[in-house]
């Protein structure tokens, strides 16, 4: 596996990472080692996940604050709307803006296990949250004179578990674009053609915003199984078998990294404007993937890299 073949001719590619708020002091220590390692690669932004219904809100806000104050990294704050009233969400968006956040990934969040629809009084779809964020932005226009908030959304290379079809998913993405989304990040996918197929469906339907492939280092069997359960996206059986047969952690790392690089290269071939790496708060496999991809990156003015894809310049 080599670096992307068309690198010398391609436009700069945006790079971003997903982190989640730590659940213990020991996890926080590991996370901060990861953050320092990832910072050296000068990503365009790092996204910070948010538990549905705000279950980890305090640790998410704390992590975002520290990223803003102690690092050169720009946070993209995930925000879910399931389980919160519009008033509560407007308050949370206002707090994020006061903290210095200028990028929000607007999500519905997974429904509680026993529910088939969001609770009465909470917003129904991510689309409603985008509109709410844009309303808050409007009210804060004097504060935000340096530029608007970048709003990202989720996109699905394979059908969302509650959706009737992949075509419906693309209609939803179009609706999110019309409500004010600036870019999308995809759910994980395991087949090389899936990103290109999503892009074709989306462009045909009129979606013009950048769609950034989200790739996870495919190095952990346990994590792949768990992810299959959580997202409904089944990992490729062949990859699972190869990982299971690996004789050592190092061999497993190589197999997983190579499979991830294949996926990312296929997405770049299809025209991906960036790569978003689901790090699971670990840097080693993310950096291995990055090393092999050798992405063409924009050089960084001062300590801030200018990114077209996520417009997070604040």
Residue closer to ligand FAD by CB (options 55, 238) is: 55
In this complex, which beta carbon is closest to ligand FAD, that of residue 9 or of residue 114?
Answer: 114
CA distance 118 to 124: 6
Minimum gap (Å) between residue 118 Cβ and ligand FAD: 9
DSSP state of 112: P
CB closer to ligand FAD out of 12 and 214? 214
Supply the minimum distance, in Å, between the C-beta of residue 78 and ligand FAD. Answer: 3
Residues paired with residue 226 on neighbouring β-strands, in sequence order: none
Q: What is the 3-state secondary structure (H, E, C) of 154-199?
A: EECCCCCCCCCCHHHHHHHHHHHHHCCCCEEEECCCCCCHHHHHHH
172: nearest Cα among 249, 107, 243: 107
Distance CA 50, CA 79 (A): 6
From the number of C-beta atoms within 10 Å of its C-beta (0-12, 13-18, 19+), residue 245 rates as exposed
Rounded to a whole number of angstroms, the minimum distance from the CB of residue 20 to ligand FAD is 8
Pair type for strands 45-48 and 75-80: parallel
Closer to ligand FAD by CB, 61 or 253: give it: 61
Q: How far is the CB of 115 from ligand FAD (least distance, A)?
A: 11
Nearer to ligand FAD, 111 or 144 (CB): 111
CB of 306 to ligand FAD, least distance (A): 23
Interacting residue ranges for ligand FAD, rule: CB under 6 A: 49-52, 78, 80, 105, 107-110, 125-127, 154, 160, 162-163, 168-169, 172, 175, 185, 187, 214
CA-based nearest residue to 110, from 227, 218, 277: 227
Helix 86-99 with 57-70: angle, nearest 10 deg: 20
Dist. CA 70–CA 28, nearest whole Å: 14
Q: Which residues, at least 6 apart from 114, have a Cβ–Cβ distance to it below 8 Å?
A: none
**81-106 b/e (C-beta count within 10 Å ≥ 16 → b):** bbbbebeebbebbeebbeeebbbbbb
Report, as residue numbers or ranges, the catalytic residues: 18
* Cβ distance to ligand FAD smaller for residue 107 or 136: 107
At closest approach, how far in Å is the CB of 49 from ligand FAD?
3
Torsions phi, psi for 65 (to 5 deg): -60, -45
Six token digits for residue 161: 């578990």
């Amino acid at each position: 596996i080599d670096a992307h073949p068309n690198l010398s001719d391609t436009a700069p590619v945006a790079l971003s990472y997903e982190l989640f708020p730590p659940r213990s002091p020991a996890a926080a220590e590991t996370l901060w080692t990861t953050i320092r390692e990832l910072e050296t690669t000068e990503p365009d932004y790092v996204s910070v996940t948010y538990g549905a219904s705000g279950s980890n809100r305090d640790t998410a806000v704390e992590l975002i604050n520290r990223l803003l104050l102690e690092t050169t990294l720009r946070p993209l704050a995930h925000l879910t709307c399931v389980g919160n009233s519009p008033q509560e969400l407007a308050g949370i968006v206002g707090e994020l803006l006061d903290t210095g956040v200028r990028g929000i990934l607007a999500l519905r969040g997974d429904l509680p296990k026993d529910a088939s629809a969001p609770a009465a009084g909470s917003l129904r779809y991510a689309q409603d949250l985008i509109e709410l964020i844009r309303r808050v932005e409007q009210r804060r226009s004097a504060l935000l004179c340096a530029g608007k908030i970048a709003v990202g959304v989720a996109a699905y290379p394979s059908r969302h578990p509650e959706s009737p079809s992949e075509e419906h998913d693309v209609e939803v993405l179009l609706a999110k674009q019309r409500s004010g989304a600036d870019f999308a990040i995809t759910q994980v996918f395991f087949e090389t053609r899936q990103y290109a197929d999503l892009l074709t469906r989306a462009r045909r339907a009129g979606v013009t915003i950048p769609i950034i492939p989200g790739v996870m280092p495919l190095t952990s069997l346990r994590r792949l199984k768990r992810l299959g359960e959580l997202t409904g996206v089944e990992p490729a059986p062949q990859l699972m078998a190869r990982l299971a047969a690996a004789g050592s952690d190092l061999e497993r790392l190589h197999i997983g990294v190579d499979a991830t690089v294949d996926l990312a290269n296929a997405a770049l071939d299809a025209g991906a404007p960036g790569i978003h790496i689901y790090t699971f708060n670990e840097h080693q496999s993310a950096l291995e993937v990055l090393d092999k991809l050798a992405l063409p990156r924009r050089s960084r003015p001062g300590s801030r890299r200018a990114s077209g894809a996520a417009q997070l310049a604040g």
